[in-house]
Amino acid sequence: MPEQLAFTIEVFLNGLMAGVLYALVALGFVLIYKASGIFNYAQGVMALFAAMTLVGIQNGQVPFSHLINAIFGTEIHHFGWHVHSVLAIAFTVVVMIILAWAVQRFVFRHLVGQEPIILFMATIGLAYFLEGVADLMWGSEIKALDVCMSEGNCLPQGMNGWIDQTTFDVFGYGFFIDNLDIVASIVAALLVAGLVMFAQYTKQGRAMRAVADDHQAALSVGVSLNFIWILVWSLAGFVALVAGIMWGAKSGVQFSLSLIALKALPVLMLGGFTSIPGAIVGGLIIGVGEKLFEFLIGAPFLGGATENWFAYMLALLFLVFRPQGLFGEKIIERV
């Protein structure tokens, strides 16, 4: 196989993998938007908060230790234990559920019936508040993230030797695929399957879909909006945790993690704000599109670094033909 073709295929495959990671972030946005019509600006910060909480719990870090020490003159930083990853993830999920309850109880319950722009502004405030709380709670330093199921059985990094060897034997060119990306793809597939099954086959899931279709109709048949919104924010929190783990494993857990939301926006524009499959397909298209463009045109002719703006351009191009996105619901307004 010609090297140029082999390299293009390699870029394509890596674009798909990158797209899965974008989709993971976009999923959280979709869940909340679909159920409550809120564009949750804080989704990226939720991923950061979840990942920081996970690492903090894992390392036995005392939350708010800097604050406690400053007020009481103590010198406590760690509990002195290390929590197993599975247990730490479970605790983090509990924290995200509490956060969901708090967001619903103290913010959005008071904003029921407000204009979408008001709700959006509230999520901007929530993002800054959460970022500050995360800083106070766990500190600003960058933390290494090791999610291990057992000793030495952690989230993998690096080239997949089997794929490298096999493709080299077949094509004479070893393809690079990051092990972490493979894990992320499997996790994303399981997550989507789980969400779809939850939405289709559970009572709460059906109630969630009913709320998504029509708030008032759902309310009239006895569905508790309050409960459903807490449920949706909890699910979005869980998705944020998964995204935080996958992105945090690449770069360490740090405040820049909140910027992954920027990667989700073009995915949402392309896939539609209300479709879970749309988030996945949108992520894949953006991932592959930006990588191929960078490889074929950006780097050779434009000096490189085209990925950020190209993703938005691609999304805008789709919007010209399908304003609601690939899978979004077509909005028909009668005047």
Nearer to another protein, 176 or 227 (CB): 176
Number of H-type helices and E-type strands within the chain = 14, 2
What CA–CA distance (Å, rounded) separates 316 from 289? 13
Binding of another protein at residue 304 (CB under 8 A)?
Answer: yes
- Cβ 166 to another protein, closest distance in Å? 17
What lies within 8 Å, CB to CB, of 84 at 6+ separation is none
**Contact window for another protein (CB under 8 A) among 113-121, 134-142, 217-225, 236-244:** 134-142
Residue of 7, 91, 120, 227 interacting with another protein (CB under 8 A): 7
Tell whether residue 209 is a contact of another protein (CB under 8 A): no
Listing DSSP states for 279-313 in one string gives: HHHHHHHHHHHHHHHIIIIIHHHS-S--HHHHHHH
191 closest CA partner among 40, 15, 26? 26
Site for another protein in 79-108 (CB under 8 A): none
Torsion angles phi and psi, residue 61, rounded to 5: -75, 140
Residue 325 DSSP SS3:
coil
Give the x/- contact pattern for another protein in 35-74, rule: CB under 8 A. Answer: -------------------------------x--x---x-
Contacting another protein within 169-198 (CB under 8 A): 176, 178
Distance CA 37, CA 272 (A): 13
- Beta carbon nearer to another protein, 112 or 316: 316
Question: Shortest Cβ distance from residue 51 to another protein (Å)?
Answer: 12
Inter-CA distances, 296 with 8, 258, 270, Å: 8, 30, 22
Between 74 and 202, whose beta carbon lies closer to another protein?
A: 74
Q: Which stretch binds another protein (CB under 8 A): 141-149, 200-208, 221-229, 319-327?
A: 141-149
Q: Is 251 in the site for another protein (CB under 8 A)?
A: yes
What is the Cα–Cα distance from 50 to 314, expressed in whole angstroms? Answer: 30
CB of 176 to another protein, least distance (A): 6
Q: What DSSP string describes 23-61?
A: HHHHHHHHHHHHHH----TTHHHHHHHHHHHHHHHHTTB
Which residue, 58, 64, 59, 128, is CA-closest to 91?
58
Size of the site for another protein (CB under 8 A): 49
Among 138, 233, 247, 318, binds another protein (CB under 8 A): 247
Residues at the site binding another protein, with contacts judged by CB under 8 A: 7, 10-11, 14-15, 17-18, 21, 66, 69, 73, 77, 135, 140-146, 157-159, 176, 178, 247, 250-252, 254-260, 263, 290-291, 294-295, 298-299, 303-308
